[in-house]
Structure 1
Amino acid sequence: MKVGPRPAGREFFTARTVAEALAGFRPARRTAVGGVPLADALHRVPAGAVPATGPLPGFARSTVDGYAVRAADTYGASESLPSYLDLLGAVRMGEAPTVAVRPGGAVGMPTGGVLPEGADAVVMVENTAETMPGTIEVTRPVAPGSGIVRADEDVAAGAALVKGGRPLRAPDLGLLAAAGVTTVPVHARPRVVILSTGDEVVPPDTATLLPGQVRDATAPALAGLVRDAGGEPVIAGIVSDEPGALRARLQEVLPGADLVVVSAGSSVGARDETAGAVAALGDVWCHGLAIKPGKPTLLAECSGVPVVGLPGNPLSALVVFRLVGVPLVWRLAGCAAPPPEPSTRARLARDLPSAAGRLDVVQVALRDGEAEPIFGPSALLSVLTRADGYLVVPEPATGLDAGTEVEVTLYR
């Protein structure tokens, strides 16, 4: 949807719901693919399924300490009437068996040892006794397959070790290592360029503030959210409110970006340059989300690069970027769906009013199973730093009563 320059004095809103934004604003851009060592692959997104070249574990093995047997030789065994089997030898860890199991015989097994030929089960050592040299008694029967894993029970040859489009977790790395995979083809980390705007905004290392000046608190916080989502943040400085300055800066950073985030420049007002600058360079998908806080959010695409324009207040900017921007970073990295955030259930400590037709995001502190809402102006970052997580009041609701069980998304 191409949106032209805004008429003077008129609000520039094409509002959408958050659900519409998550479902509808889906840029096709994906980062490049390259191989990374297994040690650096945690939380990276594979470009496709990685197949197993052979079965895993690759041989039938014991899952317990005990004796490899033919299950039929143990049928009917009990403590009062045990089965007696000849001890034929033992399997050593890391070596191929040198003895086979014949009818009426047993072979000693360590956990993880290779199942010898002729055996179809392993009886646990706790259910046996060696009453005389060369003979064991079995006091409990076993079924075929008990105490063992098949050669392909973990992964069959040709099956996917890991799927494409899902961030790699620690167990995935272990499975890849077990299959001998030491390099994984993954999407590059999205390069997220963060631009701050406003004549009143100064760098965080400014020692003394002049009247009306504020240090740029939003950009470092946004960079943290980008890193959490597997992206590579690039804090690209502060753009003045001078007409045309933002458009010129966007033209400079777009060629090297996978995503551009404009902080503090999308509030509706006389100095709002974001919408006009972005509209001059690309397509504005929406300017306005039905959410509190964070309504004046802009979503657009310029030269194939998605652009997110955030509200000026730090709390609003961080809340909306977590809901809309973070999934976008994961999507650019080839992730089919963002990893779920940790959550918990709690009882609402007090009545919570809301307005129908918008999504309300409320910060909460958790105490003894209760969620206590934390309120404050959207310019105050301390509202977020004091919160353990947040809850969402859906668009149709006009509020929640005290005692209502709510789901709280936790901050990590």
Structure 2
Amino acid sequence: MIKAPITNEKVEIIKNTILQNPIFEGISLPSISDEIILEISTGGSQCKTAIDGLVKDIEGTSLKEDFNTLATDPNLIDNITNLAVTANTKQPTCKNNDGEISVSATGGAGTYEYKLSTSTTWQVSNVFKNLKPETYTVLVKDKQGNSGKTVITIIQNLTITINVNVSISNCSKQPTNTIIVSVSGGTPPYKYSVNKGSEQSSNTFINLYGTNIFEVEDNQGCNSAKNVNILANEKNDLSLKLKEITNTISLNCEEKEKLEHRFSNILETCFGNALYRGLITKGVKLNFKISNNIAGTKASGGYDPTSNDLSFQSVDALEETTLIHELFHAYQNSFYVGGIDQYRKNGGKGRSNIEFETFFMLDILAMNGGGGQLVIRNSQEEMDKYFNWMLNLTDNDNHPNSWDKIKDKYFYFLEDFKKSIPAYNYPTDENLLPNAYFSLIKSSTCKQ
């Protein structure tokens, strides 16, 4: 099979021979370009496609076979070599058609010539300039008739998109705000300005109120602007959301802001949002506090089902995993008839169920992108078994939403859990299923 285009002399031989075929008598043959000859001479499907396109409007059943035989005749086209062709692009600057393609070729002999499929002229230079964004076919040939080609696309700089995030702090006598401008698209580094002021390399501004125009310019001179209205007395919507599940907050201003920040991150997740709505539906009101004496545990946080106190050992312990852990306990207390304090009495039967359901929930979230260490840690063998089970349950980012999906191994790993954390080694209640978790997953937007 012939694998390359051919010299100008042989192109003419093929063209003339085709035109002498009786089937073309009295018929206007479409233009046969060098590119068509190149496709024909490669043989195979490219040859068939080129011939089909060339003769699609010409009657005669034997023409295609005759043409294919002619184009691949080894006595006509012989000792032809494909060149290896590669190319790189330079993006055009903003709003300009000044892109470039640089070409390199190997496998031939002597001087190479280059051209784009959109041109009729060959050139010695391997660089094409002043190009607009589009897809190009680059052709290369040497003096012996060896040729090759490659296809490459010049991409225009992406449109610059600006996002402005405003955070408000009320911990000082004079409330302050911090504005962070984030950018996508364009070519970094970026320059930032506000209200036609001087440019700066930092994307952070402080204490701006009213209508402000934020502008960004990239390294290619492309720019974009966005108007943002910042209210000086803007109410903190996050504080209002937290208030929906709050009875009291015994935290100073900085501690409260950290709580709000962690709470905000939880609300951005599908499960966290469902948990928040579940607490509101159940009418749960919590007392948030810092306490370095969380009874009977060394945990970072704790929930007391009798007082609805949600406590943290310190401000450093106020982390998202701890917060969602204790918020889920608060939901369990409202979900299960009689609350969860009943499982701390009478020998603690069922207490391990309550705790394992919580860690099971956290591990499902971790497997779906939340990160963190899985709870089963009593041996490497059991860790591997648990991980593989979790991997199967969360395949394609799914969240198991029924007992049938987990019943084969749930209680097996609950026993492993008690070995991993002996503080929760209480009698198992075989009738206490993780239905609080299921109720939230089913009401959530999480993939199921």
Superposition TM-score tier, normalisation by shorter sequence: under 0.3
Q: Which has the larger radius of gyration?
A: 2
If the length of structure 2 is used for normalisation, what is the TM-score?
0.24
Larger RCO (alpha carbons 8 Å, 6+ apart): 1
Higher strand share: 1
Structure 1 length-normalised TM = 0.25
Choose between structure 1 and 2: higher helix proportion. 2
